Structures are given as structure tokens and as C-alpha cells.
Structure 1
Amino acid sequence: MSKKIIYLLSLLMALSLVFASCKKNAAGTGDLTPPPVDNETGKEDANQDTGLFEDYNKIPVSGAIKEYEVFQNTGRDTYRNPVVVSVGNGVVFAFGELRYETPGAANDVGINGENTVDIVYKSSQNSGYDWDSQLKYVGGQAGSKENAHGAPNVFLLNNNKIVVVATAGGGIGRTAYKVGETGKVESRVEYIFGTISGTEISWGKWTEVQLSSSKIIDEIKKVKAATGREEVFNQYGTAPGRGVVLNSGSNILLSLVVANQGSTKTEADIRELMGRYVLKGTVAGNTITWEAVEGQPIAYTTQNVTLGPWKETQLYGGTDTEPKFFVVPSPWAPSSVKNLKLGRAKGKNQTPTATSIVASEGAAGYVDLTGKWFGKNTYNPKDPKNGGNYSILTHVQETGANLAMYVLDNASDNFDVKGTWKVSIPDVTGTAAKSSSIDVLPDGTIIAGFEFGRPAEVPEGFDSGKLYKVFFARYSQAYIANKTGN
């Protein structure tokens, strides 16, 4: 055999090894797609069991501690609406929606009575450094549109008890059928208990959220969706995010999104009229008794319009006597009522007023860091206390773009912005972004879930503007302070 032939055979073998390595690194995709973004720092300096830092001087400050594509879109299945939850001692859960197959899976509202949607999650035992390789399902896989659940509202009652409240049935999705017409499924909301053991959760059964005295849908239909129109609210659901827990877990507050979405039959049939209906849940074992906090659903659209200025409401704190809400604005409202600023309401029966924060639609993230915000100052990560009274808010500044993080001063309780950072993920091009979630670990580091970026390839029939990747991120407070200027 000539030297030339031997050389060519050796070259072919080397190329084969390179291609095999590339395929192995492609996260099981079977092609040459590069692996997802996965940046991490400081792992060797953290507690090897919990991933928590015990020495302040070893907490990374020059970059993110971890950035990871925790839910990876596969073909025609998409993931949306992340919710991150720290349960203590380094155990973290990341929840999200898995929307199956149809082009509608990328729509802003996954639950519309026609799509199959699961609430899924992954867990980490070391503060987000390492994650499950396989998806887990809240309450098991749906298997059909009749059993679909989406828009998870997650309540951590204590370190081993969790409740997920979710939209089911027709939700607040807009379809070719109006509510009441043949084929349009009625809205409902359901809850499920989970018992946490390490990084595992054992789930009970989905149970419908119901009032003892009347049906929720009947109460909603008593309220007109817009002044001067005969339309009424006829749909309801949840907004994804963290739920408000009161009285050491014996009560929870739930803000239902009430709506009239019309239908997609013609442009004239389209509606986007929204409000809220707040319930308090009293927890006893694995059951919850629900009662209305406000006398009736609150309508946000007081003008004679078909597209209102406000969309989904999220509770961010308060009590059952003085709940606190933020409300995202609608970019689709007519110019006469449009106000692209984050809305805020405090107290029962209050409608939103605009803050100074530029915003658009999508679920926002919020964490109250009262006594836990240190910014650039040193603190004891084994026992973070006596810090400043601040909060962190994450939300998009434009429709489907420009995710921003805000440090808010709690002193005025008026969303007083002390610093802003336009969040970015390395290797993710563009500014595409949507929903977000945020929480704090026991060592004072901050974790987040982001809908960010878009896939390079868009399946046929999908809207490229509504396909996002779902990331987990972890930051030191000093890094956030440097980025926000506070």
C-alpha cells in the first residue's frame, strides 16, 4: 500500500472521530448543532453538595455564575413561561410549559381548548450547576387537550410542600369559536399539591378551583368587559409566575385573569378585554377552600373599545386585605388608551395606574429582597441578613424584546427604580425575549428563568416571532449591582 493511500486512510479516520465527537456534543440531536449555552463559574469554590457559597470572597462577580438552556425546543414542541423556585439548601426547581406539535404551540396563550400542553419541570440539587437530564411532569403527562394545563402559578408553602395552580379547559385563548358556540370549551382553573423529597416531587391529583357559594364563571359573567358595550367577561385563567403565600403557608392569594377574547373568525370579532378576580385559598391538608377577596371581578377596560390597555395581572405581595398587583400593558390597544408602561394596583377594588417602567406584554418576574439586598457590599453568605430593603423586577421593554432587570427601592413602595440592566445571554443573538421569573438562594445569589432568543431554524407554519428558548441563570448580587449601577 502506497504512503499516499495510507495517509488518506488516516485522514478519513481522523475526520470520522471529529464528526463523532461533534454529534456527541450536540446534546443528542444527531446532527452538528452546537450544544446549548452552558456557562458556569465558581463551581469549585462552592459547597460541593449544595452549590451554595460559604465564603463571600469566592462568589464570582465579573460574570454570570451559571447560564444554561434548561428547556431545549425540539422540532415542533416548544417551551414557554419559566418559573424558578428555590426550596432551600441548594435545591432548585425550574417549571415551564411544554406545548406540543401545532403552530399554536408558540402562541402567547398555550391553553385554548385545542392544544395539548403539559407543565413540566427539572430539578437541581446544587443551586443550578447541574440539572436533570430528563423532563418531569406535574401530575403526569396530559396525553390530550382535555387534560392540558398551562400558565403555572407556583406556591411554595414550606420546604417540602408545593402547590401549582394552572389554567385548563378553554382558558383565555382566542380561537375560531366564540365562548358559547359549539366547539368552544369552557374555562377552568385547577390546582395540585406536591410533596418535595430532595429533588423529587410526588404529586396528588388536579382539582378544580371552585367557590363554595357560586360558580366562578357565573360571577365573571356578571361584569361587563367595557363601558358602553354589551359584552361581558366569559373566560378566565392564570398568569404564570410565583404565587403569594400568607400566614406561613396556611393561606394563599390567587389572582385570576378574567377576559373576553372574542374569536378569530374575522378581524371585527377579535377582543382583548381583561381584568382580575382575586381569591384567597385556605389550605387544610391537601385541599384548598376558596373565597373571593374582592366583591366581584374588577374590569380594567372602562372605555368603549374592543382592545383594552391592560392585559394579565400578577400578584406580587400584600395581604388579603391589601393585595398588591402589577399589570402588563397591551401593545395592541388603540392609541387613545394605549400606555406602554407597567401598571400597578394596591388594595382591593383598585384599577391599574401606570408606573415609570417602560413595558409590554408577557409574564414578569419579581422577588422581594427586604433585608437581603447587599449589592456591592460584603455579607455573610451563610447567614445573609441586615441588608437593604430592595426588590428585583424583570420584564420586557418592548413587544417580544429587550428583557430588563430593575433594582427597586422598597422604601416608597412605589416601584422606585434605582438601577436598570438590559439582560443578555452570551452566544444568543438579537434581543428577543418574553416571560421571566426570579428568586433568591440561601447564600444571597439570585436565580432567574428567562424566555430568551429564538432558534436558528423555524419549523414550517410557526411564527418565528413567538419561538423562544428557556434559560436558567444565576448571578451574584455584586454582578447585578455592577450591571444596574446600584
Structure 2
Amino acid sequence: MSKKIIYLLSLLMALSLVFASCKKNSVTDALGGFTPDKVPEINNTDNTGSDGLFTNYTDLTHTEPIAKKEITRGNGTDYVRNPVVVNLGKGNLVVFAEFRYKRPGAANDVGIDGAGVVDIVYYTSKDSGKNWVTREKYVNQGGMQTTTVDASHGAPVVFYKSGNGSDGKIVVVATSGTGIGRDDTPVDQRGPSKVDYIVGTVKVSSGSDPVITWSDGWKEITGIKDKLVGTKFATAQISPTQYATHSARGVVGTDSKLYLPVTIAYQGTSDNWNNTYELMGHVLVVGNSIDNLTQWDVTGDTVVYPDNGKFTQYKEARATSKEKYIVVPSPSYGHSIMGKGQLGNGSASDNGVTASEGSAGYVLVPKWFGGSDYKIDNSSGSITISKVSQDPEENKVGILTHVQQQDKNMHMYVVNADGESKKNNGSYKIVDNGKSSSIDVLEDGTIITAAEEGLAGANRNYYIVFSRYSQKFINDQTTIAGN
């Protein structure tokens, strides 16, 4: 063998070792931050049915997440943000997100500011998140893609009601116009804020991907601007002139009404620190019925949070029930504890959860067993769960996910109903780098999330990651022994 061939073979071997080393070190475990290479995939779902649901409790994994999988990511030019996950039933899932074309967003990291094209898109799964249709679909009449700034929508709030044998109903409420964006242009020269909604019908069947039909277009929710007349932030003595949604799962009450806190704000401009503000509050908007949505009412008091003349103590709120909300703190104010309050009534107070800005995930778990075993029954053709011991089954326990610092350290908590306080004394660290998240529950009792986890690039170019956990894993990870 010639020296030249030996040299080339040696070079190839050396390069392969370097490549292997890079691959090994480029991705941390599920608790760490990701590099741009890939999301570390976890799959403990071999013993599920074709719908991805478990039928035997003993098949659940409790020592690590059941699953972790990348759904999509920003590509360095377009940005996918603010995921909202919805369990449609029968293994059918959908994740909505905000697709920001050719720009990361406004100076204050919102997609809608009247300057760029933004779509609400969605991704579907027919097997409880094991596999995803990763080609995005568009939330517009006829499923058409948005091509203009005026037709753009962002920050989706998603309401869903199962059809129980017939078509389900889904409502997406989103920001349009100029929203609460901040740039170099004065607020009064930027055009109006708008909040719009669109209604879809949902067909769900086991073994097939869900089909969502948007037969009508977006419609504006009116009356919000009029509600702001005469309102002022106490110290700044400035009136809110902007408003927007804050991405989250929406609350549908037992009365079928839709409960939505709309963020109100005065943001100022980004050209000069003296002109930069971040003053926020909310108004409560209620839809008459998800079954036949024809009217939205702006009701209750206009809530403004305490301010120091430039920033409020809290920022955007999301509903946790028809009466309550949680609200993220403002790092610019110097506050780092999440707030809680009564929708459309008074202001907020701390709930004890360390947090920063962004969209927090929350879900009330219908049946919480914590660290106890439970029974999964599929004998009737649909999955139900029930306790197997004398340990109590609780129905007023929530799961909350959010970052503890700006874009850093996403944690999961077990909380009391409405996120009013921590139930377990610890928290589970999900990932180093992240921001927005959402949560839902599957019929087999497992908890699912969709979140901005790990950086796929600069300027908050995140991976959108689906994860799944057993209740016991969450309970064990959020409980500090001896405390």
C-alpha cells in the first residue's frame, strides 16, 4: 500500500474521530441546553397503542421523561415562537405557534408590531406526539398563508371544546395591527392595536391526523380601546393606548363561555431610554359561547399593575380559570416572582414562584395521583384512569412551567389550583435555554408540554419541543425530601 493511501486513510480516521467527539459533546442530556445540532430525543412509548396512549400503568417510565421530540425550529431567517399544545382526544394533538417571517420581532420580543409578516401556524400528531406532521398549516380561512403585514396575527390564545362524538370547536384569538410592539416610532403614529378571533371545526378519529377547517375569516373583537378611556398607571400618570393577546391555552368555562385577559400597555419607543416604558395591565374579555360564538363583551374593572413611573411590577397575564389568572413579573422593574389575581378585579400579588417574562404554561390536572400508582382502563373502548389504593385522588392540582430568569432555566412546578401557590416544595429543571411553554393532559394521565427549549440559533431562534411525563416522575422531581 502506498504511503499516499496510508496517509489518506489515517486522515479519514482522524477526521471521523473528531466528528464523533463533536457529536458526542454537541448535545447535553435532557436537562441541559442544546446546541444547533439537534434536540436529544427520548422515546419510552414502545408499549403504547397505535394512538400513542398507555393502557397499562406498569408501562409508564418514571425515571426520566416518557418522550422528548423536536417538532420544528427557527431556521435563522424565520422564527417559530410561542407554542400552544392542545390534546384533541384519541391520540390527536395539535401545537399552534407564531411564525415570524424574515425577522425575530419587535424590540420588546413580540411578533406583531405592524412592521413584519406573521402567521399563526399549527402542527399535528395522531399518536400522542410520537410522530408529527412537521409541515406547517395556516390558521386562516381556507388554510391560506399570510403574505401581508395587515393580515398578520400573533400570540395565539387557543380555546377548545371536544365534540364528544361530533365535530369539536376550536377558537384562536390573536394580536393584529400594531399590538404592544415597541420600536423607534411614537405610539400614536404607529396605527391601532387589534385583537381578532377565528373559529374552526375539528374532526378527530383514532389512527388519523386531526383535520381542522377554518371556514370563515378573522373577525375583530371590538370595545377594548373604549374600555381604556380614563385609565392611568398610578405613578407614571400615563394612559394605556396599546393592547394584545398573550399566547396561552384559553379557558372555556362549564358555562361554555370563553374567558380571556387582554394585555393593555404603554410601551413608549426604543430610540431613547428616557422614552422607553413597559407599563401593563389587563381587561377581561368574555365570549358568549364556544358552541356558537357571536359576541365578545369587555367586562369588569380595568386592571393596572403597580408601577415605578416607567415599568410595572408585572407584565402579561393568562387565565387559569373563569375567575383567576397568573401574571409574569417584569425584570425591568426588578421583580422576579410570578403574580396571581382575580380577573377584571383589583391588582396582583405574588404566588411564590420564581419567574421572568414570557408565556407561562399552566394546566389544571383533572385527576392528580402524584407519586401513587393508578389504574388505566380501556375496557369500554375509551381510556379512563382511577385510583387503586386508599391514597386520595386530587382534582385541584395544577402543573406550571416557566423560566426563572430571562430566557434561562425553565422549570416545572406542582401548584395548587389556579397557580396560587406551590404545592410541592421543589421544582424540576427542564432546560437551560428557553422561554415560552404550554401544557395539557392526555387521557392516560400523562402530562405533555410544548415549549421553546434550547437555542437553534441567535436572537431567540428556539427549537419547539414536545415532551411527555408521568405524574410520578413530576411529583418525585418536584419534591425535596425532608422539607
TM bracket (short chain):
0.7 to 0.9
Describe the shift of the 1:284–1:252 C-alpha distance in structure 2 as closer, same or farther (beyond 3 A): closer
2:314 paired residue among 310, 313, 317: 310
Q: Relative to 1, partners in 2 of residues 1:59 and 1:270: Cα closer, same or farther, differing over 3 Å?
A: same
* Structure 1 residues 305-363: Cα deviation after superposition (integer angstroms, max 9, x where no partner): 02111100111113xxxx10111110101xxxx43211110354120011211111111
360-369 or 95-104: which moved more? 95-104
Q: Hey, what does 2:224 align to over in structure 1?
A: 216
Gapped regions of structure 2 (runs ≥ 5): 18-34, 204-208, 378-383, 388-392
Structure-1 residue corresponding to 2:353: 357
Contact 2:172–2:199 (Cα < 8 Å) also in 1: yes
Residues 1:444 and 1:291: Cα distance change in structure 2 (over 3 Å): same
Q: Counterpart of 2:404?
A: 397
Please say if residues 258 and 275 of structure 1, whose CA atoms lie closer than 8 Å, have aligned partners that are also in contact: yes
Determine helix, strand or coil for the equivalent of 1:297: strand
Give me the whole-angstrom Cα distance separating, in 1, the residues matched to 2:461 and 2:292: 36
Offset, 1:378: 1.2
> Which residue in 1 is equivalent to 2:175?
167
Query: SS at 1:69's partner residue?
Result: strand
User: What are the Cα deviations for residues 79-135 of structure 1, in whole angstroms up to 9, with x where unaligned?
Assistant: 111111101111111111111112437852111111211111111110000000311
The answer to whether residue 152 in structure 2 is matched with residue 148 in structure 1 is yes
In the TM superposition, what is the alpha-carbon distance from 1:224 to its structure 2 partner?
A: 1.3
SS in structure 1 at match of 2:195: strand
Determine the structure 2 residue equivalent to 1:300: 305
Alignment of 1:31-430 (within 5 A): 36-47=38-49, 49-104=50-105, 108-139=109-140, 140-159=144-163, 160-181=168-189, 184-197=190-203, 198-211=209-222, 215-227=223-235, 229=237, 231-247=238-254, 250-283=256-289, 287-294=293-300, 296-301=301-306, 303=307, 305-318=309-322, 323-333=323-333, 338-346=334-342, 348-370=344-366, 372-382=367-377, 383-385=384-386, 387-389=393-395, 390-410=397-417, 414-425=420-431
C-alpha change, 1:263 and 1:365, in structure 2 (3 Å) is same
Q: SS of 1:76's equivalent?
A: coil
The SS at the match of 2:225 is helix
What's the C-alpha RMSD, in Å, of the aligned pairs?
A: 3.0
8 Å contact from structure 1 (residues 192, 204) kept in 2: no
| Residues 83, 11 of structure 1: alpha-carbon distance in 2 compared, 3 angstrom cutoff | same
Alpha-carbon distance between aligned partners in 1 of 2:36 and 2:349, rounded to the nearest angstrom: 45
Is the Cα–Cα contact under 8 Å of residues 226 and 273 in structure 1 kept in the other structure? Answer: no
The answer as to whether partners of 1:190 and 1:206 remain within 8 angstroms in 2 is: no
Q: Structure 1 residues 106 and 206 mapped into 2: Cα distance closer, same or farther (>3 Å)?
A: farther
Indicate the SS of the match to 1:226: coil
Distance in 2, matches of 1:252 and 1:284, equals 7
Letter in 2 for 1:42: N
Q: Deviation per CA, 1:126-183: give whole Å up to 9, x if none.
A: 00000003111111321121111110000002242111000001001112222222xx
How far apart are the structure 2 equivalents of 1:51 and 1:275?
A: 41
The change in CA–CA distance for 1:133 and 1:359 in structure 2 (over 3 A counts) is closer
Equivalent-residue separation in structure 2 for 1:475 and 1:110 (angstroms)? 30
Relative contact order higher in (CA < 8 Å, ≥ 6 apart): 2
Residue 304 of structure 1 deviates from its aligned partner by 5.4
Q: SS of the residue aligned with 1:454? A: strand
Within 2, Cα distance between the matches of 1:109 and 1:210? 20
Quick one: distance in 1 between partners of 2:263 and 2:368? 31
Instruction: State the one-letter code of the partner of 1:329.
Output: P
What does residue range 434-449 of structure 1 map to in structure 2 within 5 Å?
Answer: 434-449=435-450
Cα distance change, pair 218–293 in 1 and its aligned pair in 2 (3 A): closer
Give the AA of the match of 1:420: G
Q: Provide the secondary structure at the position in 2 that maps to 1:376.
A: coil
Aligned to 1:480: 474
- 1:467 is the counterpart of 2:461: yes
Going from structure 1 to structure 2, the CA distance change for 1:13 and 1:396 (only over 3 Å counts) comes to closer
Per the TM alignment, residue 64 of structure 1 is displaced from its structure 2 partner at its CA by 1.3
* 8 A contact 1:41–1:60 mirrored in 2: no
Q: Segments of 4+ in structure 1 off by > 6 A?
A: 2-15
Q: Residues 105 and 414 (structure 1 numbering): CA distance in 2 closer, same or farther, change over 3 Å?
A: closer
Q: 2: distance between equivalents of 1:453 and 1:34?
A: 8
- Aligned-pair CA distance for 1:483: 1.2
Pair 1:34–1:298, CA change in 2 (3 A): closer
Could you say what secondary structure the match of 1:165 adopts? Answer: strand
Contact 2:73–2:461 (Cα < 8 Å) also in 1: no
- Aligned-partner Cα distance in 2 for 1:79–1:106: 17
TM-score normalised by the chain length of structure 2: 0.84
Distance 1:34 1:332 in 2: 29
Q: 1:142 to 1:7 in 2, by over 3 A?
A: same
Contact 1:106-1:467 at 8 Å conserved across structures: no
Instruction: Name the CA shift for 1:79/1:347 in 2 (closer, same or farther; >3 Å).
Output: closer
Aligned partners of 1:381 and 1:442 also within 8 Å: no
Indicate the SS of the match to 2:105.
Answer: helix
Secondary structure of the residue that 2:246 maps to in structure 1? coil
- Bigger shift: 165-174 or 112-121? 112-121
Say if 1:78 and 1:106, in contact at 8 Å, map to a contact too.
no
Deviates more, 1:90-99 or 1:373-382: 373-382
